[in-house]
Amino acid sequence: EAQVTQNPRYLITVTGKKLTVTCSQNMNHEYMSWYRQDPGLGLRQIYYSMNVEVTDKGDVPEGYKVSRKEKRNFPLILESPSPNQTSLYFCASSPGPHRANTEAFFGQGTRLTVV
Amino acid sequence: SQQGEEDPQALSIQEGENATMNCSYKTSINNLQWYRQNSGRGLVHLILIRSNEREKHSGRLRVTLDTSKKSSSLLITASRAADTASYFCATAMNYGGSQGNLIFGKGTKLSVKP
């Protein structure tokens, strides 16, 4: 089944403790993104990747890192999480950039709480 | 940077009625997409309309696009309780360095009462 898989689905952590949220897609998509969703703010893009070893900042990249060493995986790293990073996070993939009329396939989300 | 803005923010209707949601955006686009999100879950793509298209249908969904007004509407006909969800428009711009990206609005929360 074609899917985007995020892990974990739920995570409670403490301020400053490094964490990684994994994202994997099985559709051989080139383009992958991370979003955060907050009440009243909608979805905002954190980072995106056009292909292996090609990543770039989205609208809200501060406090996050990503890597794209393999086509299928795009982990989101919080080196020193803070309470303002408490949010619902989504990974998405698509065959190519959206200007090429491609749709995004979303993972089920990771609800992160930083205390 | 927020591009799309949905209207209304919330909509409550009875089963069988039609639901109309609107989306306005600010800059020139390549395409506009609509997504659905069931409570706290991942978004699901519904329909994509290109900038040179004016109307598109998919099952009970009808999407229109007016590039002169920079607006789009999503119509769900004969709504069902299972249509209860949040609906988001997302735009892909056709200029600038972020041409690959989708920019989402804040969504319309639709509630369909049985």
Q: Is the pLDDT of residue A98 over 80?
A: no
Q: Is B100 close to A40, i.e. CB distance below 8 A?
A: no
Which DSSP symbol is given to B86? E
The closest of B110, B114, B100 to B10, measured between CA atoms, is B110
Reported as a pLDDT band with limits 50, 70 and 90, residue A36 is very high
* Residues of A with Cβ-Cβ distance to B41 under 8 angstroms: 108-109
Instruction: Determine, for residues B92 and A98 on separate chains, whether the beta-carbon distance falls below 8 Å.
Output: yes
Window from A6-20, A62-76, B92-106 with minimum mean pLDDT: B92-106
Interface check A4 vs B, CB under 8 A: yes
Asked whether the beta carbons of residue B33 and residue A98 sit closer than 8 angstroms, the reply is yes
How would you list the strands of the sheet with A19-25, edge to edge? Answer: A4-7, A19-25, A76-78, A65-66
Question: Best of B35, B41, B87, B98 to disrupt the A interface by mutation (most A CBs within 10 Å)?
Answer: B98
Q: What's the pLDDT tens digit per position in A23-33?
A: 999 999 999 99
The pLDDT tens digits for B24-45 are 998 888 999 999 999 888 999 9
User: Is residue A10 within 8 angstroms of chain B, CB to CB?
Assistant: no
Position A111 scores a pLDDT of: 97
What is the C-alpha separation between A14 and A91, in angstroms, rounded? 22
